[in-house]
Amino acid sequence: MSDLPLAWTLVVLTTFVSAVPISDVEDALQVALTIPDKETGVKVSQWTVNMNVNPEELGNYLEGDIMIAKGLKGYDAKDESLRWSNGVIPYVIMDDDQLNLIHEAIKEYEKYTCIQLKPRTDEKDYVKFVSYNTGCWSYIGKIGGEQSINLQTPGCVTKKGTVIHEIMHAAGFWHEHTRNDRDDYVTINWDNIEESSTGNFAKLSPNIVQDYDISYDYGSVMHYSAYAFAKNPIIRTIIPKVSDNYFL
């Protein structure tokens, strides 16, 4: 995932979830962490900008940074209750240290999308930006009531792209590399993926995903880095099938 300048258009970033993920992703939904994880926080606290992975890829959560709501068995974007009314996401920010970067990320996000984020007044459903030492994570779509986007300081608020990435999850988007057509664009180096993390590379079914006929985007803010979840940190886990100019 690239940071500034952000060479992407948010409306073509990734795959919008429209139902329950399949196979091992579906299984993962049943066992994924539903509570914040301090071990993830330790890993993110040790992250630096010189590493070849992004801080949101260090988590023990589903796909690294996806929090699963308790009791939730799947996602169905055809269910209007999971979408934000009128494309507006109310929010509050709890940590003053995060204000500037979050506001910059929101401005960038609104510039390229039809989704707006506005300070909460009395809305029942809203996002709360928090900064607990549990890594970078968000829920997928609107889950109802107050829902958190956690941005551990300083790791998760070092790059504007990380903030936008987590906002995208809250808006209802999954990771680009889980598109069902991803094998046409990248090769997954399964031999170098940590055994406990192979489920993070499962594909979503085309029957349950809406990609709106948008092409695969190597530069998506929702794309894993080339070395995500690698056993050997100097060998890539995601290899592009076109020029490396399009990818890390």
Numbered residues of the known binding site for Zn(2+):
165, 169, 175
Annotated binding residues, as ranges? 165, 169, 175
Q: Which residues contact 201 (CB under 8 A, 6 or more apart)?
A: 177, 178, 188, 190, 193, 229, 237
Give me Rg for the CA atoms of the chain. Answer: 17
Give yes or no: 39 in active site: no
* Whole-angstrom distance, CA of residue 175 vs CA of residue 220: 9
* Whole-angstrom distance, CA of residue 15 vs CA of residue 200: 15
Q: Exactly one of 166, 176, 194, 195 is catalytic; name it.
A: 166
Locus of tokens 């928090």: 130
| DSSP 3-state of 119 | strand
Which H or E element spans position 31? Answer: helix 23-31
129 touches 91 (CB < 8 A): yes
| DSSP 3-state of 4 | coil
* Whole-angstrom distance, CA of residue 219 vs CA of residue 1: 7
Which H or E element spans position 164? Answer: helix 160-171
Catalytic residues: 166
